[in-house]
Amino acid sequence: MRGEGGMRLFPISSGWFAAFVIGAVLVSAPRAQAWSKEGHILTCKIAQALLEPEAAHAVKNLLPHDADGDLSSLCVWPDQVRHWYKYRWSSPLHFIDTPDEACSFDYTRDCHGPKGAKDMCVAGAVTNYTSQLLHYREGTSDRRYNMTEALLFLSHFMGDIHQPMHVGFTSDEGGNSVALRWFRHKSNLHHVWDREIILTALADFYGKDMDALQKDLTKNFTKGIWSDDLSSWGDCEVLSSCPTKYATESIGLACKWGYRGVTQGETLSDDYFNSRMPIVMKRIAQGGVRLGMLLNHVFSEHGREIPAPT
């Protein structure tokens, strides 16, 4: 399942990479959107805006007609189907449980399903669906696999693996069982990171306008606060080390910012929101940029040169 070696996600100089991202952003136009799972929609919108013509074409080709060419309209599909009988197997692919307080990710130790099935976690899923899509250009796609589903799963899981609390502690289910209040309503720690912080930011700073938030995120990685950092975002090997890097970053952030100082039953408000919002926003941007680059890689000429994973 895990590929050996392979190419760097961005096999180009960092300056060129930054110039490419900025160029791609300048030529992309904003699109209208539906309102639902905000983090995934933002990640997929950012990614799709960064696609080169080859990848843009492949994505449009793989999307069902009713998506109208908009990847973000189907990026929440894996969340919708995970409870259906037919897709129940996919449920463990959305997260990773790490040992309580370990604050680290170890693929062999942590990437398995509830009954120990190897690779059944979000890091294994990113590798799995990347390697399935690598066969798309070759026309050698395994008939067991549905390339549309591979695209939707990969796009969704690239979001999940960047959400710090999706790589959380085992006993509290990534913060799901840490009940608390978000300002005045009941919530839990996992949900605060999935949704509450994004919704509060949208309401307080962006007039609930997703396009405005997407523009601000994009501005911040092209010429704003994250632009110096941008070139390091692609510094890993597609099939082998990228998913491990992303998951390791997430559990680090979960410990440093997610769990820290939070106790069961308390009320989280301005202090928590103000200090955590920048982390959430950066993770959404990283997920989007990395998904865009990954799809460019997978659907491009040199994507073929990656040895098939065993």
Ligand X SMILES: *[C@@H]1O[C@H](CO)[C@@H](O)[C@H](O)[C@H]1NC(C)=O
CB of 83 to ligand X, least distance (A): 15
CB of 259 to ligand X, least distance (A): 22
Residue pointed to by tokens 């930054």 = 18
Strand pairing class (179-182; 185-188): antiparallel
CB of 89 to ligand X, least distance (A): 6
**Residue 207: CB atoms within 10 Å:** 9
The distance from CA 246 to its chain's CA centroid, rounded to whole angstroms, is 9
CB of 214 to ligand X, least distance (A): 9
CB of 29 to ligand X, least distance (A): 19
**Residue 281: CB atoms within 10 Å:** 20
Query: Closer to ligand X at the Cβ: 183 or 205?
Result: 205
The contacts found for 207-215 with CB under 8 angstroms, 24 or more apart, are 210/33, 210/35, 210/38, 210/41, 210/42, 211/30, 211/33, 213/42, 214/30, 214/42, 214/45, 214/46, 215/30
Query: Closer to ligand X at the Cβ: 213 or 239?
Result: 213
CB of 148 to ligand X, least distance (A): 4
Query: Closer to ligand X at the Cβ: 137 or 219?
Result: 219
Residues with Cβ within 8 Å of 102's Cβ and at least 6 positions away in sequence, in order, are none
Query: Closer to ligand X at the Cβ: 11 or 69?
Result: 69
The distance from CA 293 to its chain's CA centroid, rounded to whole angstroms, is 12
Q: Are 157 and 75 in contact (CB under 8 A)?
A: no
Query: Closer to ligand X at the Cβ: 173 or 216?
Result: 216
Query: Closer to ligand X at the Cβ: 14 or 148?
Result: 148
Query: Closer to ligand X at the Cβ: 58 or 217?
Result: 217
Residue ranges binding ligand X (CB under 6 A) = 64, 89, 93, 119-120, 124-125, 128, 145-146, 148-149, 213, 216-217, 220, 224-225, 281
Q: Are 226 and 285 in contact (CB under 8 A)?
A: yes
- Buried/exposed 225-259: b ≥16 CB within 10 Å, e otherwise: ebeeebbebbebbbbbbbbbbbbbbbbebbbebbb
CB of 216 to ligand X, least distance (A): 4
Give the helix/strand (H/E) hosting 186. strand 185-188
